[in-house]
Amino acid sequence: MSPKSKFGLRGRILKITPSSVYQEIVYTHDILIELENYVKLRVCDAKMRCEQKNLGKVKNLHIIADNLSSIKKCEVIEPNIGPTKLIDTDPISTNAIISGQLEGIIFLGDDSRLSYGIVNVGVGKVALRLFKEQLEELKEGDYIHVDSVSLYLTDVES
């Protein structure tokens, strides 16, 4: 089983917005998605994997969350994913808050520098980047909460 098959969120792609443009050439964009629970998230698509033809469609989105704050272990916590700040009803950045159960750890390299915890956030699973010291503190089955993560799209499936 491929590491990517272990995580994903289903969401409708609402909008694609250029985020890095130079001399009228778009190098990266953000996508605005709406999850099955009607929560909207803004996700950085640095590799521009989401194409215009996907607008309005529901897709399985592989999302990596890079933690920008410490990971807090909890006794039990309601799984959740949501934006950190909104303007009207839309998230203003690719930052989010996540809570849920750590369902597994995957390694994408020969060492622990590229390790990710698969976190069930209730409406799907995201891959949360873990650092060596976090690998020593966390184990499968732990409930966690992170106040600030940055969301990155890694793949779009039907």
Q: How many CB atoms lie within 10 A of CB 59?
A: 19
Q: Range of 100's domain? A: 3-157
- The Cα 144–Cα 100 span in angstroms is 6
Band (4; pLDDT cuts 50, 70, 90): low
Chain mean position to CA 152: 6
How far apart, in Å, are the Cα atoms of 116 and each of 3, 26, 63, 86? 10, 29, 11, 27
* 22 CB neighbour count, 10 Å cutoff: 7
Q: What is the pLDDT of residues 70-126, one digit of tens each?
A: 899 999 999 999 999 888 888 889 999 999 999 999 887 666 567 899 999 999 999
- Predicted TM-score (pTM) of this structure: 0.90
